[in-house]
Homo-oligomer: A and B are copies of this chain.
């Protein structure tokens, strides 16, 4: 049934040349007579040859594969792990990250292996995977900024690039967003609209990005004479946005402007606002963050701070590729600027 797959040897015999010559043709190395090239190419076609990657990797020490790891800080039991995967992808944010990464990798024939590292054991597996040379490097997207993985990777001197700056310095390149600037944009917009009683739904405060967005929002308001800003902490999920908005409304019924740290929570906030009889944006203006797909699909459409996720993800992949190629040796950080997208909610 399954005949042995054709090898270089087979092609060589078929074409009447040596293995070395076939290898040269396959790898597009010059110094091969055009006629012979054609000869070899035809032999390849006839035999249906496909180079065995294990054999190639064994000598080149490259796999053309990168680990795409979604990493939590937690010590989630392994049981809750497929729930972790589902939860992660419930935020359109990750779909965009994947899209950006794949967009960069594919034209270069690099392939992503999906890994989840939400437990100590899973993190160890990631390290082992890389040490075994199954992937050339790692692209790490952490859900918490105190994620231990980046440090482990750096200690093991394994090539890796991060999405978002780690909470404590690690000698690894990363891409990030100027979160403070984004929050500043939101605050200015709300103020310009005439809102006087502002509040915010922050992201989980163990995430650096959440802290930055909160700090940026507060700073801007403070500079405009609003020293106190009610805050409700959310978890970047729709549910938590709902709970946070309800809480805020109970404590401060007069709120007329809200900045939510992501679109999912902004959507939740809008739902609660409407249920409680507030019109958005007439009674309460809402600004989200990310500019994810829900920003345009939810009603009212969200005014939000755009984060160029695909571009950031692609850049992250490029950084790793450059490190692997050896064309970039120094640790690098690339920080993107957000921009305000005005729609209906504010």
Which A positions have Cβ atoms within 8 angstroms of B? 2, 5, 50-55, 57-58, 63, 65, 68, 78, 81-90, 92, 94-96, 98-100, 102-103, 106-107, 111-116, 122, 128-129, 131-134, 157, 237-239, 242, 268, 271, 275, 293, 297, 299, 310, 314
Contact = CB atoms under 8 A, between A and B. Distances in A.
Nearest to A83: B99
A51 B129 CA distance: 10
Nearest to A297: B238
Contacts of A84: 99
A141 to B, nearest CB: 13
**Count of identical protomers in the assembly:** 2
A9 to B, nearest CB: 15
Given A58-B54, A134-B53, A297-B239, A99 B82 contact: yes
A50 B275 contact: no
B82 A50 contact: no
Given A238-B297, A271-B299, A89 B92 contact: yes
A114 B132 CA distance: 20
Contact of A293 (B54, B90, B98, B131): B90
A116 B92 contact: no
Contacts of A237: 297
18 contacts: A50-B128, A53-B133, A54-B63, A65-B113, A78-B106, A82-B310, A85-B98, A85-B99, A86-B95, A86-B310, A87-B95, A89-B92, A89-B98, A90-B293, A102-B114, A113-B114, A114-B114, A268-B297
Contacts of A89: 89, 92, 94-95, 98-99
Contacts of A297: 237-239, 242, 268
B86 A133 contact: no
A98 B111 contact: no
Given A82-B314, A86-B310, 9 more contacts: A50-B131, A54-B55, A82-B103, A85-B98, A85-B103, A86-B95, A89-B92, A111-B113, A268-B297
A153 to B, nearest CB: 14
A129 B103 contact: no
Given A89-B98, A310-B86, A112 B111 contact: no
A89 B103 CA distance: 15
- 5 closest cross-chain pairs (CB), A and B: A89-B95, A82-B103, A82-B99, A54-B57, A85-B99
B92 A106 contact: no
